[in-house]
Structure 1
């Protein structure tokens, strides 16, 4: 399988765990002590790291660190927006579109040498 696709797939899965680790406690553990929320989040984040570390190691065989980082940010926003709208019931804002367009610009600039 293509190393970039493998890396991207692992990063998508990693970002699902990361998003839940970072933000789900705002809904699920809102009235609990912050220490409990932190411990639960760390437990969830362990699975994120178990996917993120191999994703970056695999991706680094075909991409630069900058390319990996920009790919990660695009994936993070792609996971975060549906999570915030559907799970946290946050309103969908045009700011997400503008942020996405800025990231597309970043993708263009960081990957343009690969396409020339």
Structure 2
């Protein structure tokens, strides 16, 4: 099951997406798993910095994937 969540940074994934797109995708997946884990399981407070970082990543996704 965890294989489905991995970034397709192999020959197949690299044929579909370029290196920059794969890296941004990796960061989005990592933070979308880590932030809820840190807040819900580890009891860390949700800081505005997490929100700002998420907004920056949304901007990065927009710019890296636009045509």
Q: Which residue of 2 aligns with 1:68?
A: 22
TM-score (norm 1): 0.50
Q: Which has the higher helix share?
A: 1
CA distance in 2, matches of 1:103, 1:92: 17
Structure 2: runs of 5+ lacking an equivalent: none
Structure 1: runs of 5+ lacking an equivalent: 1-8, 12-51
Q: CA RMSD in A?
A: 1.3
Aligned residues: 63
The offset of 1:101, in angstroms, is 0.4
Provide, for residues 71-100 of structure 1, a one-character-per-residue CA deviation record: whole Å limited to 9, x for no partner.
Answer: 111111101101101221101112111100
TM-score (norm 2): 0.82
